[in-house]
Structures are given as structure tokens and as C-alpha cells.
Amino acid sequence: MEADLILLDGRVYTMDEEQPLAEAVAVRDGRILAVGDNAGIRAMAGAETEVLDVQGRMVLPGFTDAHIHLVHYGLSLTQVQLDNVPSLQEAVARVAERAQKAKPGEWIRGWGWNRNLWHGAPFPTKWDLDPVTPHNPVYLYSKDGHAAWVNSLALQLAGITADTPDPPGAQLERDAQTGEPTGLLKEDAAMKMVERVAGPVSLSEKMDAVRAAAGQLHRLGIVGVHVPEDAHDLRAVQEVWLRGELDLRVNMMIPAEHLEDALQLGLCAGFGDEFLRLCAVKAFADGSLGTRSADMFEPYDGEPHNRGIEVTSTEELGALVASCTAGGWNIAIHAIGDRANSRALDALEEHWREWSRLGLRPRIEHVQLISPQDLPRLALMGVIASMQPIHCTSDMLMADRYWGARCSSAYAWRSLLDSGAVLAFGSDAPVETPDVLRGIFAAVTRQREDGTPPGGWYPEQCLTVPEAVYAYTMGAAYASGEERLKGSLSVGKLADMVVLSQDIFDVPPQEILHTRVEMTILAGEVVYRAVS
């Protein structure tokens, strides 16, 4: 049978134990036709076959980001950029620059501020923004997405005053003396109080964001994503898919508040096709480390009265697991703190027999800090650890500051893998960069790109490069129940590949950062090619 596409003279790491290494790959109708040596694959070329000589470069299955906010990542490319801004003053200056160009009354949106980079500075307030935005309401997501910083005009439009109570599972930061809201909103229910008056980003803007995000992700070798976003974001992805313009394989999670709607319609996990599929219900056990709202057994170091926020109670999580199980849905529970992870596992264990008998694959998103006694429970029950290596190196100094000695069981990839748990890796973009190669570097060194700390942060939790790659390929495919369809370069599977400039299995770890994606192939079509 003639191939549509052939890759020759590569170092092809298939991630398939039966044939781990090959020289060439043949593709037909978007699927892997054959994997083998140059001579055997070359014989499948016909008059119409496209033949690509990759000149000894590394070929891997295309990467999947198992946790990315796709629409928000695309939108972040055009909003006020506050990621890695080193000071409060610089953040305000960037907002002021946008305000000078905005029409009166136009909302100014931004993303990425990180108070933990502003050494010695308190959390930002409306009083920082008000002087530079007298005519524009402002809504700025924090880097971790668990807080928003708004100005007085935004609070006024939302009707938030000193008399407004905190919504359940969230917090309106207040002035200690007057009780007046400061403009810092912690967790989703508080943030939505302002989001509702800001109004949704238009469907067309979100569709453009999906397309823009896909283009950027192709440059990073990413062909698939698992996306925990809201109903309007799903609509945007679906509209792009309906137009035949979805150049990513998207597994969507639906918010827990829409589970009942999905059940009424008879929808369940797995509905969809090779480009757009429903995979799980997303729930929140707690907040984040950055806002110190992650749910902890013991108080944060230096904050004796703060154990974080229990966004969803254990009882409510258990009821959600039961409903998901009855309706054929996997559940994905966001859990950062050690208590949140323990509670998530308790809720899953309560209905373990039911969901395991049905072959469901629940997952915990992040698993950033887990107590040693809880760690083996993921493997024991078959709960997937959906983690983001870049969080570790980004957050390690903050984790040391607020979690102290507890960090010995933070971002515990090696312990989880050795226990038998399945790892699925992602980025949480736009919270962090979606660059998979930087994620792999973080996973194998537990160092920042400048080489700090020497030897790595809790280096006993490092992975090997093949193990990290597996988590971005087969691990992610298993997490979405698609390991027979994708994740390895095996005959009959989807022809999604990435070509790298060098063999990252055979270079010093620091060289991974100097590796570039040469080519990304989706369904047998080249969707990205690096310019020489």
C-alpha cells in the first residue's frame, strides 16, 4: 500500500514497548501505516507520496498538554501582559499604558501578575489602579488564575461594598480597619461577581483565541490538549471545529456546575471525535499556593491562622463523584494542598468500587503537595496524577517560604511513578509556559533555567527524560482513555509527530533547553515547520 507521507532517516522513538526505536515512518489517511527501517519504508513511496528526510533528527509522538486553559491562553496573547513583571509599579505602568489607548468605559483585561515576585510588596489593591484608570473598569487575573485584581470602578459596577458578604468558597479581601473591599478577589465565586458585569468575551474573539493558541502550540510540538474551561469556551472550540478549522486534538472538561445539564442530555465522557471530545467533569477542592488558598492540614509558615480555602467540601466532592459515576463521567479534581488532595482521595475512595468497575479514570489536577500516607492511594485506586512540571521550578521558592519542610513531598513525580501511578503532564498555560521542552527540563532537573538550585530542588523526585516524555505522550493519552488511538507511533494510531533538532535522550539535560521543534505533524499533515 502506498503512503501519503514518509519520514526517513530519523531516530524514531515510538514510545511503543514492542518496537521502541526505528528509522522511518509511513503515513496513510492520517494514520501510521508502518514503522521500520529506511529500506522497508522507502518501498512504500508512490508517485504522490511526500517524502521527508529528517536527517538523523529525533522523531517522537506529538506532545499533548494534559492541562491547559486553551481559550484563556489564546486571549492572553492579546491582553495586558503581566507575567514575570518584577514590580507592582511596572504592573501599574502597563495597565496605565493600555488605559491611555482605551475608550472611556471599555474594560481593561490582563493576565499574569504575581505578587510573589514583588519582594516586600503586599497584595495589590484598587488604590494602586485607580489613579491611572479613572474612566475604565479593570480586571486582571493573577498568574495562578485563583485571584483577580480590580479597580474601584469595577467594584462599583459589580455592586461590591463593605456590606457585601463573602461568597461560599471564596473571599473578598478587605481593609482591616474599615472592612472596605480592597479590589483583591480570591477564588472563582468572588471573581465571577465582577466577571458577570464585565460581560463575556465575545464568541468570535474566543474563536480567534483558539486559532491563535493552536498556531503557537504547533511551534512547541503540541498536537493535543486537555482543557478545563467553561461552557462558553466549549462553544467557541466547537464553532471552530464545525468550520473545519480546529488544528488541535481537544479533550474538553466541563465545569461541575453543568454536570446535571449534561446528564439530562444523556452525554457522557468519550462523546466526540478525534479532534473534539468530552473527557471529564472539572471540580475544585481548593485554591492555590500563590494566593495561599490551597487547603492545608497545618497553617502556612508565617501565617498561623491561615489553612487555605476549602472550595468544595468533602461531602460535596463525594456527591459529585457519585453523580459522575452514575452518568459515565470521569472526574478531574483540582487539588493543590495536602488536605485538599487527601479529601479528593477520600471522595474518590467512597465510590471506588463503582467507578473502577465501569472503567472510569478519575484524575487529580496538580497534586502539588500530598502527604506521604496519601501518596500511595493514587496508584492503589487507579487515580491519574495530572501534573505540571513547570509549576515546580516556578513555585519552589514560594513553596519553601510557605510550606517549609513539607516540601519534601511536593511535586512528587518520582514517588508517584514508583508507586505505580500514571503521570499525565501539562502546563496550566497561561499560568506557565506551554513549552514542553522546558517542562521536560524541569521534570528531569528540578532546576530553573539558570541552573538553580545546584543539584535540583528535592532532586530525589527527578524523572528520566524518557519518563517525562512518556507523561506528555502515552500518559496523557491514557488520561483521556485514548491510549489505543494516540500517544505512541504504532501502526494504526493517529499520525501525530514532532521532529526535534537533537536527541534529547542523548544530551546533557541543560541542552534540552537549546533543542528546537523542527516540525510538527498532525494527522499526517505538516502544520509547523521551523524556518532555517
Nine-digit cell string for 515: 533543542
- Please give the CATH topology (third level) of the domain spanning 5-62+494-529: Urease, subunit C; domain 1 (2.30.40)
Would residue 30 be called left, alpha or beta, if left means φ above 0 and alpha means ψ between -120 and 50 degrees?
left
Nine-digit cell string for 520: 510538527
CA angle at 410 for the pair 481 and 399, rounded to the nearest 5°: 125
User: In the prediction, which pLDDT does 113 show?
Assistant: 93
Q: In 3D, which of 459, 432, 435 has the Cα closest to residue 445?
A: 459
Instruction: Give the DSSP letter string of 188-240.
Output: HHHHHHHHHHH-PPPHHHHHHHHHHHHHHHHTTTEEEEEEE--HHHHHHHHHH
Nine-digit cell string for 414: 518520582
User: In the prediction, which pLDDT does 144 show?
Assistant: 81
| Structure letter (DSSP) for residue 453 | S
CATH (residue range 83-142+147-186)? 3.10.310.70
Q: In 3D, which of 327, 346, 287, 343 has the Cα closest to residue 311?
A: 287
| Structure letter (DSSP) for residue 87 | -
Q: Is the pTM of this model over 0.85?
A: yes
- Residue ranges, CATH 3.10.310.70, the chain: 83-142+147-186
Half-sphere exposure of 332 (CA within 13 A, CB side): 25
> pLDDT tens across 496-509, in order?
999 999 999 999 99
User: In the prediction, which pLDDT does 426 show?
Assistant: 98
Angstrom distance (rounded) from CA 497 to CA 249: 13
Angstrom distance (rounded) from CA 170 to CA 173: 10
> pLDDT tens across 369-424, in order?
999 999 999 999 999 999 999 999 999 999 999 999 999 999 999 999 999 999 99
CA angle at 260 for the pair 257 and 266, rounded to the nearest 5°: 135
Question: Superfamily assignment of 65-69+202-479 in CATH?
Answer: Metal-dependent hydrolases (3.20.20.140)
From residue 436, how far is each of 160, 264, 427, 455, 467 by CA, in Å? 41, 38, 8, 21, 13
Nine-digit cell string for 400: 519553601
Angstrom distance (rounded) from CA 238 to CA 528: 23
User: In the prediction, which pLDDT does 145 show?
Assistant: 81
Which residues of the chain register pLDDT less than 70? none
Q: In 3D, which of 127, 129, 123 has the Cα closest to residue 109?
A: 129
User: In the prediction, which pLDDT does 291 show?
Assistant: 87
- How far, in whole angstroms, is CA 216 from its chain's centroid? 15
Nine-digit cell string for 40: 522497508
Nine-digit cell string for 201: 468575551
> pLDDT tens across 25-35, in order?
999 999 999 99
> pLDDT tens across 85-116, in order?
999 999 999 999 999 999 999 999 998 898 88
- How far, in whole angstroms, is CA 516 from its chain's centroid? 21
- Residue ranges, CATH 2.30.40.10, the chain: 5-62+494-529
User: In the prediction, which pLDDT does 333 show?
Assistant: 98
**Order of strands, sheet of 384-387, starting from the edge strand that comes earlier in the sequence:** 63-65, 222-228, 249-255, 276-284, 330-335, 363-366, 384-387, 423-425
Question: What is the chain's Cα-based Rg?
Answer: 23
Sign of the CA dihedral 43, 46, 51, 53?
positive
> pLDDT tens across 204-214, in order?
999 999 999 99
